[in-house]
Chain A
């Protein structure tokens, strides 16, 4: 069996000030992650303070854009089938995303994926991932 997953119309994310650099970079096709200068941990979703040590001494870093699928679920009941997943970036954090441009029946946990940016309806583009 195969179920080809294409692209779905995606609603615009609300851009809050503390995450604006993330969305500005996405508009340039770059994926950013937040890193704590004190404890060295990366985190996602981005916020002003480090959720691990509480420090506000954080910085934006450009991620390599590659990762592995931690888990996923194929939604077969929508108008267009789609795949929700957590992808663990090579930098450490896992992020929720969609797997696109893939055969849903061939997706596996542990599979290598790379970021792509997909337009949203009237907002910044969203990072999605496709098998490499």
Chain B
């Protein structure tokens, strides 16, 4: 069953906070839930489907359902790291199409900054999983895992640090206009490659920010969306995929986007060249480069050339990306950037992005999430959205 036009994004909200010393994670979830529902013109009483991932405190969704006072017909706690919320939008559309709910609320919140988490530079223990004994003793940090992909891309395709730097440069050009962005300073290629090397070949400015906060989305049945006062954003293409070390057939240059992009474009009936704005998960610069290739915006190996010379800068390049400043400059709440990817795509489609970065008459946008770690295991998800 195609999900094309089966549901709409009616509400979107990004928490303005970037460091939440005085708020609990549950409070942040509640803040963003109320924010997205208010944006849509709905209330917590209207919600009959709730979606959250591993960042929600407690057993699955159970604590948050009670904290928020929700009365539900449908719940979904799919966990694919930072891409979870992109998956949730598709799952919400499927649930609505199947008649399981009418108003789906998706929330994300976290406070790694306040908790002093060494997000990228300390090995992450994924617990009692079968693959962990074969990884954790080697102390692979999240940075190493993305760095190995970058190293291999440089080896196979001649990609340079300067080309990767252009991705950060573009994000910084956008972030200067976002008053909530953690880092608003416009940087040059020289600044990026001159920043300290953290894990070869990735520099400090190749990495996203660490921030607290969160975001929420409200996905509704099309009839409900049309009855509300906000511009209608239709979900027209979806794709999800999981990829890991493949039993030892390790290929760090092909991400799940190679599958999710194909699925989403086929469902939507559009091509990469039709996309006017793209939110691309940007945990690191290399994440963006590989994703753009795998989604088909350029050929495999050509990502370095594609992102160079400002091609991702709104108003200057062919593919404006992450016009909020992305995870690289604006926000990566709870170390999970999929939510903000969808939110900025919704802003663009509504014409509510900052005027300096708004894509004129933006009707077709893409949002892509990459959760987990590119080098070991990740969940990918693509959404294609269209303004009605």
User: Which A residues lie at the B interface, using CB under 8 A?
Assistant: 8, 10-16, 18-19, 41-45, 47, 50-52, 70-78, 82, 84-86, 88, 92-98, 109-110, 120, 126, 128
Please give me the residue from chain A that is nearest to B128 by CB atom: A14
- In the complex, the answer to whether A73 meets B147 with C-beta atoms within 8 Å is yes
- In the complex, the answer to whether B137 meets A120 with C-beta atoms within 8 Å is yes
User: Which B residues lie at the A interface, using CB under 8 A?
Assistant: 121, 128, 130-141, 143-145, 147-149, 151-152, 155, 197-202, 245-250, 252, 376
* CB-defined contacts of B140 to chain A, threshold 8 Å: 84, 96
Bound Cα distance from A126 to B236, whole angstroms? 49
- In the complex, the answer to whether B200 meets A73 with C-beta atoms within 8 Å is yes
Do A19 and B248 form a contact, CB below 8 Å, given A73-B144, A77-B199?
no
Please give me the residue from chain B that is nearest to A85 by CB atom: B148
- In the complex, the answer to whether A93 meets B248 with C-beta atoms within 8 Å is yes
- In the complex, the answer to whether B134 meets A75 with C-beta atoms within 8 Å is no
Q: Separation in Å of the B119 CB from the closest CB of chain A?
A: 13
- In the complex, the answer to whether B151 meets A13 with C-beta atoms within 8 Å is no
- In the complex, the answer to whether A82 meets B139 with C-beta atoms within 8 Å is yes
- In the complex, the answer to whether A93 meets B199 with C-beta atoms within 8 Å is no
- In the complex, the answer to whether A43 meets B133 with C-beta atoms within 8 Å is no
- In the complex, the answer to whether A42 meets B148 with C-beta atoms within 8 Å is no
- A16 in complex: contacting residue of B133, B155, B250, CB < 8 Å: B133
Chain B CB count within 10 A is highest, among A41, A42, A86, A128, for: A86
* CB-defined contacts of A72 to chain B, threshold 8 Å: 148, 151
* CB-defined contacts of B247 to chain A, threshold 8 Å: 41, 43-44, 50-52, 93
Do A16 and B130 form a contact, CB below 8 Å, given A73-B199, A75-B143, A109-B152?
yes
Please give me the residue from chain A that is nearest to B127 by CB atom: A14
Query: Closest 4 A-B residue pairs measured CB to CB?
Result: A93-B248, A13-B133, A51-B247, A73-B147
Please give me the residue from chain A that is nearest to B148 by CB atom: A71
* CB-defined contacts of B132 to chain A, threshold 8 Å: 14
Bound Cα distance from A11 to B140, whole angstroms? 13
Bound Cα distance from A43 to B245, whole angstroms? 10
- In the complex, the answer to whether A13 meets B136 with C-beta atoms within 8 Å is yes
Q: Separation in Å of the B225 CB from the closest CB of chain A?
A: 42
Please give me the residue from chain B that is nearest to A15 by CB atom: B133
Please give me the residue from chain A that is nearest to B376 by CB atom: A96
Chain A CB count within 10 A is highest, among B131, B136, B149, B247, for: B247
- In the complex, the answer to whether B199 meets A76 with C-beta atoms within 8 Å is yes
Do A8 and B139 form a contact, CB below 8 Å, given A77-B199, A85-B148?
yes
Q: Separation in Å of the B208 CB from the closest CB of chain A?
A: 16
Q: List 23 A-B contacts (CB under 8 A).
A: A10-B139, A13-B134, A15-B133, A16-B130, A16-B133, A41-B247, A44-B247, A45-B245, A51-B246, A52-B247, A71-B155, A72-B151, A73-B151, A74-B199, A75-B139, A75-B141, A76-B197, A76-B198, A78-B121, A85-B148, A93-B249, A98-B138, A110-B155
